[in-house]
């Protein structure tokens, strides 16, 4: 099993689930158990602190997305906070930055500071064809 340590802190504004280690398939059951317990709390604002997460894979991302959906169905929310560049890359590649608000820090998430949101990069359409010199063309 991948090393993962979880800690839950209940604050007035939210419940903060701090993760330390790898959110990967090998730790999925441990993460699911913690998220299920957090969903049972009366306040449904959940901040998942990813500052100490060394790696995340599609299983970890899926667990976060499913839990965010359940929280939303129950009238609450789940947000992410403090991911490093590698975790941000994985979240971006999985399309999660556009579905789960992701803040630069736990405090920014607790304050709902829109200026501290990690946003998707500007979408610029990819060129449909690459410019080519006449000399680069091969004859058919």
- Domain-located, residue 86: yes
- Domain-located, residue 35: yes
- The residue-averaged pLDDT of 20-39 equals 93
- The residue-averaged pLDDT of 57-64 equals 95
Does residue 124 register a pLDDT over 70?
no
The reported pLDDT for the residue numbered 127 is 46
- Domain-located, residue 77: yes
- Domain-located, residue 8: yes
Please, what is the average pLDDT of the chain? Answer: 87
pTM score, whole prediction: 0.83
Residue 28 maps to which CATH number? 3.30.750.24
Sheet strand arrangement including 77-81: 4-10, 15-23, 45-56, 77-81, 102-103
Does residue 12 register a pLDDT over 50?
yes
The DSSP string of 77-96 is: EEEEE---HHHHHHHHHTT-
- Domain-located, residue 138: no
- The residue-averaged pLDDT of 111-133 equals 67
- Domain-located, residue 96: yes
Rounded distance, CA 104 to CA 117, Å?
Answer: 6
Rounded distance, CA 30 to CA 6, Å?
Answer: 9
For 66-77, what is each residue's pLDDT tens digit? 999 999 999 999
For 90-104, what is each residue's pLDDT tens digit? 999 999 999 999 999
- Domain-located, residue 43: yes
Write out the residue range of the structural domain in which residue 79 sits.
4-122
Total number of domains constituting the chain? 1
- Domain-located, residue 58: yes
């Amino acid at each position: 099993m991948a090393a993962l340590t979880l800690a839950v802190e209940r604050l007035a504004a939210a419940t903060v689930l701090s993760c330390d280690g790898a959110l990967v398939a090998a730790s999925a059951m441990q993460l699911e158990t913690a998220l299920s317990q957090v969903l049972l709390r009366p306040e449904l604002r959940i901040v998942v602190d990813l500052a100490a997460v060394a790696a995340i894979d599609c299983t970890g991302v899926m667990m976060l997305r499913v839990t965010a959906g359940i929280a939303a169905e129950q009238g609450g929310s789940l947000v992410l906070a403090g991911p490093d560049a590698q975790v941000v890359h994985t979240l971006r590649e999985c399309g999660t930055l556009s579905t789960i608000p992701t803040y630069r820090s736990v405090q920014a998430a607790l304050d709902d500071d829109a200026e501290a949101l990690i946003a998707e990069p500007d979408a610029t359409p990819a060129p449909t064809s690459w410019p080519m010199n006449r000399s680069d063309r091969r004859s058919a």
